[in-house]
Amino acid sequence: MGSLGQAGRFARTTMAAALDVVLPPRCLACGDMVAESGALCGDCWSDLTFLGDPCCLQCGYPFELDFGEPVRCGACLAKPPAYDRARAAFAYEDPIRSMVISLKHADRTDLVPGLARWLTRAAGPLIDDADLVTPVPLHPKRLRQRRFNQAAMLAQALSRSSGVPYASMLIRRRRDTRSQGHLSPEARRRNVEHAFRIDEPDKVAGRRILLVDDVLTTGATLEACATNLKRAGAARVDAVTLARVIRPTAVSSSDETAPLS
Ligand SMILES: [Zn+2]
Ligand SMILES: [Zn+2]
């Protein structure tokens, strides 16, 4: 039996080596040949816009100047978000933008390990303050179409690399919020807020939750999830996304321009 298992492993290893010869490693973003699998080519690498300090203490919006102490941006001072802190690995631009789109709409789940490494790096300052990692849920209809939730795959990878337990289905999505352009901003905010539900508040009460999503567009989805989690008694709600849209002006409260999530 043991020798059969070994033979199987040997066959698989040989097969992987053979595939590397037949299919040389490709850049995760553009498909050009690279030296090792799971990497970006030099051109795509140089196009990445990493986010980090200095940034808004709360929403993570990048600052051009380091104020020498933690400060909030104007938007967070004017209307503090329901979440405590949000951080993102990258600005939502190519090549990350095309990678996220390939993941969601072309089933490129092979991108997850590489993307998750960057997400873990961005989550660094938040992970020590988290009891649970949980994804922003997809609407069940969308989940049936796509068959996977990219945020859940990223959250699971983050849980594995950090050791912080993963909680699935902590937040439920009960409404699709795509077409709400006809609503007033306030009605839109309420619509998004009511699109989520916490079924088991006892799993949330007193816990520090780290929410995971692929892209922060307007912040409305994270705001709605955080509002629901805080209402259910969460002690802290932080959020980490792979990328975020960087707008020169204040964050709007509309989610209508969000990419299909
Ligand atoms: Zn490339
Ligand atoms: Zn801010």
Which ligand number lies closest to the CA of residue 46? 1
Quote the ligand 2 centre to 251 CA distance (angstroms).
Answer: 9
Q: Where are the domains of the chain?
A: 1-41, 48-244
Tokens of 20: 């590397």
Quote the ligand 1 centre to 93 CA distance (angstroms).
Answer: 14
Which ligand number lies closest to the CA of residue 45? 1
Neighbours of 173 (CB within 10 A): 21
pLDDT for residue 208: 98
Which ligand number lies closest to the CA of residue 26? 1
**How many Cα atoms within 13 Å fall on the side-chain side of residue 203?**
14
How many Å from the N-terminal Cα to the C-terminal Cα in the chain?
46
How many angstroms separate the CA atoms of 52 and 147, rounded?
Answer: 32
Q: Are 192 and 82 contacting, i.e. CB atoms less than 8 angstroms apart?
A: no
Which ligand number lies closest to the CA of residue 98? 1
Quote the ligand 2 centre to 147 CA distance (angstroms).
Answer: 34
Among 179, 201, 187, 202, smallest CA distance to 258 is for 179
pLDDT for residue 204: 97
Which ligand number lies closest to the CA of residue 27? 1
Q: Are 54 and 62 contacting, i.e. CB atoms less than 8 angstroms apart?
A: yes
Which ligand number lies closest to the CA of residue 30? 1
Quote the ligand 1 centre to 241 CA distance (angstroms).
Answer: 22
Pick the CATH number of 48-244 from 3.40.50.300, 3.50.50.60, 3.40.50.2020, 3.20.20.140: 3.40.50.2020
Instruction: Give mean pLDDT in consecutive 10-residue pieces for the chain, a chain of 261 residues.
Output: 52 58 84 90 96 95 92 96 97 96 92 94 95 94 89 97 95 75 78 89 97 94 96 98 82 41 43
Q: Are 132 and 210 contacting, i.e. CB atoms less than 8 angstroms apart?
A: yes
Within 8 A by CB and 6+ apart from 85, the residues are: 57, 58, 59, 60, 125, 126, 238, 239
pTM across the whole model: 0.84
How many angstroms separate the CA atoms of 56 and 61, rounded?
Answer: 5
